Amino acid sequence: MEKSTIRIKARKIADQIEVKILITHPMETGFRRTFEGKVVSEYFIEEVTCYHNDNLMLKSHWGVAVSKDPYLSFKINGGAVGDTIRVSWRDSRGGKESFDTHVR
């Protein structure tokens, strides 16, 4: 099984769920050149979606201004230990991934 590019931590703190996400992705802008002078083509995450128990909580559209290996953090009101958090991304070359975790 291939290792996921998404790492998620979701934990219950008081009456909220704190979600922390790290995505491994090169996020190329299309402006960088190699030492030989060739342009490195655009390659970036275009959309990130986050679900809490199959309810959409966040949908974000990204572009070339987001850094390599982006980090995202947010809080959800309510919820319980054991709830499911699912994160999905889609990039400019058609790549995509989804990963689920449970709230601790």
Q: Is 103 a member of any domain?
A: no
For 11-70, the pLDDT digits (tens) are 999 999 999 999 999 999 999 999 999 999 999 999 999 999 999 999 999 999 999 999
| Domain count along the chain | 1
Beta-ladder partners of 102? 84
The rounded radius of gyration (Å) of the Cα atoms in the chain is 16
pLDDT at residue 1 tops 60: no
Instruction: Kindly provide the b/e burial profile for residues 17-55, where b requires at least 16 CB atoms within 10 angstroms of the residue's own CB.
Output: bebebebebebbeeeeeeeeeeeeebbbbbebebbbeee
Residue 76's pLDDT band, with cuts at 50, 70 and 90, is very high
In terms of residue numbers, what domain contains 88?
Answer: 6-96
Q: Is 13 a member of any domain?
A: yes
pTM confidence score:
0.91
Q: Is 65 a member of any domain?
A: yes
Q: Is 104 a member of any domain?
A: no
Q: Is 102 a member of any domain?
A: no
Residue 3's pLDDT band, with cuts at 50, 70 and 90, is confident
> 2 near 15, Cβ under 8 Å?
no
Q: What is the CATH number of the domain that holds 81?
A: 2.60.40.10
